[in-house]
Amino acid sequence: MSGYHHGDLRRALLTAAVTAIEKSGPAALSLRDLARRAGVSHAAPTHHFHDKAGLLTVLAADGFDRLADQLTAARTGSFLDLGVAYVRFAVANRAHFAVMFRPDLYHAGDPEVIAARERAGRALYDGAADRAGVDPEQAREEGLAGWSIAHGFATLWLNGALPDQGDDPDAAARAILRHLRPDGP
C-alpha cells in the first residue's frame, strides 16, 4: 500500500468484479462500483481495461482457460467424469460462467478469448472422441449431447431452478449425467 499507487489494482478489480457478478449478474456490473470497492478513484479502471467490455473480456478469457484446464485434467477419467468436471467448473466459477456465454457483453472477437474458447472446445471434443473407436459424426453428436446435458444441468442448478436441490452439485450431476447413453443408438 503505497498510498497513491494501489500495487495490484488490476487483480483487485477482477476479484471485485467476480464478487459483484456472483451477487447481481454481469449486466448490473458497474466500473464505478468496482473502483469504489477497490478504494480507488472511479476513473482508475479505465487505465487497466479501457472500458467495461474490456474487463468482461478478460473474465471470459480467464474462464475459458480454466475450463479448458479442468476438462483436460478430466480426460483421464470417463466421459461421465468429463461432464461432472464441466458442472463443477460452472458451480465453482459462477461469475466466469455467467459471462462466458454472454458474448454480447464483451469483445468476443478478442484474440485471447478466441484462443481460450477454442482450447476449451478442443478439450471437450477430444474428450468425447477419445472414448470410443467410433465414427466421427457419432462422436460429434455424443460430444454435443454431453455438453448439452452438462450445460443444462449447470444452468438449472445455478438458477436454483431444480426441485429439491441439495448442496452437493457433484453428486447430483453424477446421478443425472449417468442417464446419457454411453454407446450408439
Partner DNA sequence: TGTACATCAGTGAACGCGCGTTCACTGATGTAC
Give the residue among 123, 127, 115 at the shortest CA–CA distance from 60: 115
Could you say which of a copy of itself, DNA, none residue 101 binds, taking C-beta under 5 to 8 angstroms by partner kind? a copy of itself
Angstrom distance (rounded) from CA 171 to CA 14:
30
Nearer to DNA, 46 or 138 (CB): 46
Could you say which of a copy of itself, DNA, none residue 40 binds, taking C-beta under 5 to 8 angstroms by partner kind? DNA
Which residues would be at the binding site for DNA (CB under 7 A)? 2-7, 9, 29-33, 35, 40-44, 46-48, 51-53
Nearer to a copy of itself, 4 or 137 (CB): 137
CB of 3 to DNA, least distance (A): 5
CB of 163 to a copy of itself, least distance (A): 7
Nearer to DNA, 45 or 169 (CB): 45
* Grid cell listed for 159: 438458477
Which residues would be at the binding site for a copy of itself (CB under 8 A)? 24-25, 27-28, 101-104, 121, 141-142, 144-145, 147-156, 159-163, 175-182, 185
One DSSP character per residue, 82-136 reads HHHHHHHHHHHTHHHHHHHT-GGGTTTT-HHHHHHHHHHHHHHHHHHHHT-S--H
One DSSP character per residue, 14-65 reads HHHHHHHHHHH-GGG--HHHHHHHHTS-TTHHHHHHSSHHHHHHHHHHHHHH
Nearer to DNA, 69 or 110 (CB): 110
